[in-house]
Amino acid sequence: MERSLAIIKPDAVERGIVGRIISRIEKEKLKISAMKMVHLTKGEAGRFYYVHKDKIFFNDLIEYMSSGPIVVMVLAGEGIINKWRQIMGATDPAKAEEGTIRRIYGTDIQRNVVHGSDSSESVKFEVNFFFSELEVENGA
Ligand code: IDP
Ligand code: MG
């Protein structure tokens, strides 16, 4: 079964919209196979986002991602990587399609509420980063 790693980012947890985002996931009939809340250190955030280490926004990004707790989830289902990215919307909320999570709740290109894996290679790294096999529901 295809998986994707989803994150409800610190801005969303701080604003108290975790429930609304999980509700949306349920309304879309996506399957949540694992879920927990963690607070990353800056170093951990840097390891998670290592692909962006040379970008100019890297330091701000890891500062933001370690600024408070996040909710991490494994989503599972056919085509879930693209499906979840479509429901999230484009990286920049201002450019995201009407009705997407980032369009509805996003503040700016950095504080864009949610994360989703972008490929099966990144899923492997990202799921292993946060979860052991034991923590992911059987069959997902
Ligand atoms: P994605 O989350 O849509 O996959 P990426 O390009 O992988 O977008 O960027 C990772 C995260 O880095 C974004 O979700 C956003 O929080 C932040 N980010 C991306 N581009 C910028 C930027 O130009 N300025 C500030 N932050 C950015
Ligand atoms: Mg990305």
Check residue 76 and give its pLDDT.
97
Best probe residue, ligand 1, of 62, 110, 115, 125 (max atoms within 8 Å of C-beta): 110
Ligand 1 site, residue 112, Cβ cutoff 6 A: yes
**Amino acid at site 95:** K
User: Could you tell me which residue, 85 or 140, shows the higher pLDDT?
Assistant: 85
Per-residue pLDDT band for 139 (boundaries 50, 70, 90) equals low
**Amino acid at site 117:** S
- Does residue 29 come out as left (phi exceeding 0), alpha (psi in the -120 to 50 range) or beta? left
**Number of residues assigned to the chain:** 140
| Tens-digit pLDDT profile for residues 5-52 | 999 999 999 999 999 999 999 999 999 999 999 999 999 999 999 999
CA distances (Å), 122 to each of 51, 64, 93, in order?
10, 21, 22
DSSP 132: -
User: Could you tell me which residue, 1 or 114, shows the higher pLDDT?
Assistant: 114
Ligand 1 site, residue 109, Cβ cutoff 6 A: yes
Structural domains in the chain, sorted by start: 3-130 (3.30.70.141)
The mean pLDDT of 82-97, rounded to a whole number, is 98
- Phi and psi, residue 98, nearest 5°: -50, 135
Ligand 2 (ion): residues with CB under 5 Å are: 118
Is residue 23 within 8 A of residue 87, CB to CB? The reply is: no
pTM of the model: 0.97
Check residue 106 and give its pLDDT.
98
104-123 burial, b at 16+ Cβ within 10 Å, e below that, comes to: bbbeeebbbbbbbbeeeeeb
| Tens-digit pLDDT profile for residues 47-81 | 999 999 999 999 999 999 999 999 999 999 999 99
d(C-alpha 12, C-alpha 70), whole Å? 8
Check residue 138 and give its pLDDT.
77
Side-chain-side CA neighbours of residue 134 (13 Å): 0
Q: Residue 140 pLDDT > 70, yes or no?
A: no
